[in-house]
Chains A and B, each alone.
Chain A
Amino acid sequence: MHEKLIFEHSAPGRSADAQYPQVPVEAPIPAALRRASAPLLPEVSELQAVRHFTRLSQLNFSIDTHFYPLGSCTMKYNPKACNQYAMLPELLNRHPLAPESTGQGILQILFELQEMLKEVTGMRGVSLTPMAGAQGEFAGVAMIRAYHKARHDFARVEIIVPDAAHGTNPATATMCGCTVKEIPTQANGDIDLESLKAAVGPQTAGIMLTNPSTIGVFERHIDDVRRIVHEAGGLLYYDGANLNAILGKVRPGDMGFDVIHMNLHKTFSTPHGGGGPGSGAVGVSERLLPFMPVPVVGQDGDRYRWLDEKDLPQTIGRLSNFMGNTGVLLRAYIYMRMLGRDGMQRVSEFATLNSNYLAARLRAAGFELAYPERRASHEFIVTLRREAREWGTNAMDFAKRLLDYGFHAPTTYFPLLVPECLLIEPTETESKEELDAFVDAMSAIRREAETEPDKLKGAPWTLPVRRLDDVRAAKQLDLTWKAA
C-alpha cells in the first residue's frame, strides 16, 4: 500500500472550483506588501483530494478499526453521538466573542459540565480552559506558585515528582519557573515515604502525583503522602491521566489533592484525533479557587455568564485566545450525560476488570508482570526482560510484531524504571473476545521469539512500511517536499 504525496497528484490550473468565489477579485495591497509568487499548495480536483485523504486514513490504526491498548492513553470507544451532536450548526457557527445573550445554551452546557466534573473529582471549582493535559498541568503548577506568592512565601519553587511520572510533569515544572526534585519508587510500586520526608522542606511548592500511578497500581499510602507534603507547607497536584481507573470509586478531592487536571480526551472519551485536540480541565480545592484560569462560566439567577479577570482578580490569567477547546468540552458533556451517575462508575469497574483479566491471562501464558503481587488498576505492566535476555527480542520487537497481528502496540519503554516494558491499558469498552485474541497473539509472538526471533526483529512485515530508520530521519532532515 502506497499513496503518492498530494503534490504529486497536482496539475497546474486544476482546482476544486465549487469551493471558493469564482468572480476574480484583485486584492488592493500596496506593492511592497504584496505576495510575489504563489505558495506551494496542491492543484487537485475535489475527488482527487477526497480519494487521497481517504486513502491516507486507511493507512492508520485507530480505535474504530483496531484494539489499541496504549497504556496511559485510555483509548476507549468514542461514541458517534458525541461527535454528531457537538457539530450541530448553531454550535459550530457561534463566534466566541458573540454577546452572552446569544449563547445561553452553550454556556449552560459548559456550566453543567463544570458541575459534573466537580462532583466526579470532589474538587470545589473547575475551569475548562486548558487545551490539553500538559496545559492543565501548567495551569495547576502556576496556581500552586500563585498561591505561595500570594502568601509571600517566595522560597517555594521546588516541585517533587516520582521517578515514574509522565515527562510532561517535570517539563511543566520547568515552564512554570520551578525546579524539579525526583523521588524514587519502591520495588512494590509505592512511593518511598522516607525519601519523600527527606525531600520536603520550606522550598517545597508541591508534589505532582498520578494515582493510580503510571505503573498501574494505587498508591496505598496516599494519606501519608498528603500529610507529609501538607505539613511541610506544600500542595498536592493530581495528574488525572489515570482518572479512568477510579471514577466513582475514590475522588482526588477526598484524597486531599489541592489541584487536578483531567484529560477529557482520555476519561471522558473525546477523540484523540491523531494527536489532539485534547482538553485538560482543572479542578481546585478551596484555597486555590481565587487562582483558577479564566474564563470560567458563572451563574447569575437564571442567566449564565463568563467570569473573567474582574471576577477573579487573583487568577493566573488566560491560557488561550478564547475559552479553550469548546468543541471538545461539548463531546465530553454528551458522553457524561449518556453515562450518567451509574454508567460513570461502571467505567472504572470494567476498565479494572478488563485490565486484571488481561494481566492474569498473560501471566498464565508465561509473561512476567512487573508488579505481580499488586492488584492492577486500569492498566498494568509486562516486562519482557527475560525474552530480551534469552532470545534477544526486546519490547519494541514485540510491539512491532503485534502490528502484524492486527493490534496496536501497547505503550513501550514507559515508565522508564521498568526494563523492556509494555504498559497495557485495555479500557472498559473492549469485549472479552478481543482481550482473548490479544492474549493469543502475544502467546504466538512469544513462541516466535523463541524459535524464529527474526520474525520479531524484522517486524512489521504486513504494514504500509517496514520498520523506519529513525536515526536517518533525525540526521538527514527531510521535513518538507520539494518539487524535483
Chain B
Amino acid sequence: MPFIPHTDNDIRTMLDAIGAPDIDALFEEIPANLRAPGLPGVPPALNEMEIGRLMADFATRDGRPLNFIGAGAYEHHIPSAVWAIVTRGEFYSAYTPYQAEASQGTLQLLYEYQTMMASLTGLDISNASLYDGASGLAEACLMAVRANRKSKSQRILLPVALNPTYRDVTQVVAGNQNIAFELLPYDPKGGQTLVSALEPYGGQDITAVVLQHPNFFGTLEDVDAATDWAHANNALMIGVVNPTSLAVLKPPGQWGRLGADIAIGDGQPLGVPLSSGGPYFGFMATRTEHVRQMPGRIIGRTLDLDGKSGFTLTLQAREQHIRRSKATSNICTNQGLLVTAATIYMSLLGAKGLAQVAATSMLRTQQLVDALTRVPGARLAFDRPRFHEAVLLLDRPVKPVLEALARRGIVGGADISARYPSLGNALLVCATETRTLADIETYAQALAETMRNSAAAA
C-alpha cells in the first residue's frame, strides 16, 4: 500500500485495541444514505517509475522556449544551493512555527529575512510574507485604511500604469469592504504616472496613494513628488516595488521627504522559479508605528527561561487564530518555503551581486530594445528612463506575431494591447541577466523574419 506502513498483523492488533470488527466500522457515524460508492472516476495508481515517465512526457511536450516575458514574473539565475537547501525535509516538511522551541531554524531564518527586506525597502520592519504581489497590494490597501486614522473616506488612488492584474486582484480582495479605488492616468509620451493628475484631489480626504516603481511598462516613476503630495494631503504612500530593482533604485523608505509608508511587492525575482505562475510570495514592509496594523506572520527575537536569545512568532493578537472576525486579515498559511528560498538567494548574492543582476538586466533590456526597434514595424512606446522592461508598439496585432515566434521557440513578450487599448498593438518585453547577446540577436532575427512573412495590418 503506497505510503501506508500497516501490516495485516498491525491492522488486527489495532482493531482489537479499538474494539471494532473491521475498518469499515470506524465510519459507522456517517449516515448510510451519504456513503460514497468509491471513486471510479479517479484513474488507477501509478508507481513512481510510471509517474516519472508521465511527467517527463508532459514536460518534454512543453519544451524550453527562450523567454522574453516579465510582466510581474522574472527569469533570473538561481544558485543551485538555494533549492538544494530549501528542499531539505527540515524546511520542506515542517509547518508554521507555532512550537517555537522546535522551529528555531525556520524562525531564525525568517528573522534574517525580515532584516534583509527592511533594509532593502528602506523601512523599519517587514512581515514574513503574503501570498503574492497582487494580493499583497490588496492587503496593503486594507492596512492603509486601518493605519490612516486621519482619513475616513476609504478612497485609494491607483495608477493606470500599475500592473493591471494587481488592480483586478485588489478590487476582488479589498472591494468587499467598501473601499473606493480611483485611477491616475499616465503620460502617453513617457509612460510615467502623471503627478499632475493628483492635483484635482488636493485638499480631499484620500486614504492612500499607490505607485508602482518601476511601473508595469518598466518606466521609472517620479516617486519623490508623488510621495510628498500624498503626505501633504494626509494620505499614506504605498510603494509597489520589484526587489531586484531596489539594489540600485532609491528604496521606498527614502521616497520624498518622509518616505513611503508601506512597501509591497512580489518576491519571486529573489530565487523563485517562474513555474507557470507560482508559488511565489508577497513581501510587505512598513514603519514601526504601523506594525500592529500589518497582516501576516511576524517573528521577534526574545529570551528563553535561561536568558538565552531565541525567536518566536509575535504580535499574534493581530491574527485570525486569536482575533477571529476582528483579525487584520484572514491570512494563515502562506508562502514560507519561498521566503526560505529568497533568504538564501539574498545571502548568496549580497548587495553587490543583486546590484550586478539589476544593472546587467537593465543593460540587456536596453540591448533588446535597440535590436528589436531596428526591425521594421516595431518602435519604442515610451522615452523615459526604465528598469528592465519596455513597451514596443507593432504595426500589426501582437498575438499572431507571438504565436509565430512561439513556433520558433521564442516566447517574445506579453501582449498588453487588450488592457491598454489606447496604446494600440503593444508588446511588453523583458531581458534579464539570463539572456545573452546571442539570445537577443536570435529574437531580433526571428522577429524580423516573422514581420517580413506577414503583411502589416494597417
Contact = CB atoms under 8 A, between A and B. Distances in A.
A338 B119 contact: no
20 contacts: A15-B350, A65-B90, A79-B48, A87-B83, A167-B321, A222-B31, A247-B39, A255-B34, A273-B335, A274-B103, A275-B128, A340-B42, A341-B42, A342-B44, A345-B39, A354-B14, A356-B18, A357-B18, A473-B301, A474-B300
B455 interface: no
A475 B343 CA distance: 26
B416 to A, nearest CB: 10
B336 A137 contact: no
B224 A61 contact: no
Nearest to B88: A57
Interface centre among A41, A255, A265 (most CB of B within 10 A): A41
Contacts of B333: 132-134, 265, 272, 275-278
B353 A15 contact: yes
B242 to A, nearest CB: 13
A101 B357 contact: no
A25 B359 contact: yes
B114 A32 contact: no
A60 interface: yes
B450 interface: no
A171 interface: yes
Given A19-B349, A254-B36, A350-B6, A324 B278 contact: yes
Interface in A229-285: 246-251, 254-255, 265, 271-278
A20 B433 CA distance: 8
B95 A134 contact: no
Contacts of B349: 15-16, 19-20, 41
A361 interface: yes
Interface in B220-261: 220, 223-224, 246-251, 254
Contacts of B90: 57-58, 60, 62, 64-65
B106 interface: yes
Contacts of B451: none
A484 interface: no
Interface in B400-416: 402-403, 406-407, 411, 414
Contacts of B132: 131, 320-321
Given A30-B220, A321-B266, A469-B302, A353 B87 contact: no
Contacts of A104: 61-62
B1 A346 contact: yes
A135 interface: yes
Given A40-B116, A277-B338, A321 B165 contact: yes
A39 interface: yes
B148 interface: no
B93 interface: yes
Contacts of A345: 38-39
B320 A167 contact: yes
B340 A274 contact: yes
Interface residues of B, number: 202
A97 B355 CA distance: 27
B11 A16 contact: no
B288 interface: yes
Top 5 A-B residue pairs of the complex, sorted by shortest distance between their CB atoms: A64-B89, A340-B45, A322-B277, A273-B337, A275-B336
Contacts, number: 685
B442 interface: no
Given A91-B59, A92-B274, A465-B308, A56 B109 contact: yes
B93 A46 contact: no
Contact of A96 (B99, B108, B274): B274
Given A88-B59, A249-B35, A97 B69 contact: yes
Interface in B340-375: 340, 343-344, 346-360, 362-363, 366
Nearest to B128: A275
A450 interface: no
Contacts of A155: none
Nearest to B322: A167
B246 A39 contact: yes
Interface in B69-97: 69, 71-73, 75, 77, 79, 81, 83-85, 87-97
Contacts of B366: 28
Interface centre among A22, A171, A428 (most CB of B within 10 A): A171
B456 interface: no
Contacts of A101: 403, 406-407
B36 A174 contact: no
B115 A39 contact: no
A98 B406 contact: yes
A234 B7 CA distance: 46
B18 A61 contact: no
B116 A41 contact: yes
Nearest to A410: B99
B406 A99 contact: yes
Nearest to B93: A63
Given A21-B356, A97-B414, A431-B10, A338 B325 contact: no
A318 B168 contact: yes
Contact of B94 (A62, A83, A222, A318): A62
Given A104-B62, A432-B13, A25 B363 contact: yes
Interface in A12-68: 15-16, 18-30, 32-36, 38-44, 46, 49-50, 52-66, 68
A403 B175 CA distance: 44
Given A175-B330, A472-B303, A327 B173 contact: no
Interface stretch (A112-120, A194-202, A382-390, A440-448): A112-120
Contact of B71 (A64, A97, A319, A400): A97
Interface in B11-64: 11, 13-15, 17-20, 23, 26-31, 33-36, 38-48, 51-52, 54-64
Given A171-B329, A337-B54, A472-B302, 18 more contacts: A33-B250, A35-B249, A49-B347, A73-B95, A84-B52, A90-B64, A116-B43, A167-B332, A223-B33, A272-B96, A317-B171, A322-B73, A341-B40, A344-B42, A353-B14, A460-B101, A469-B305, A479-B126
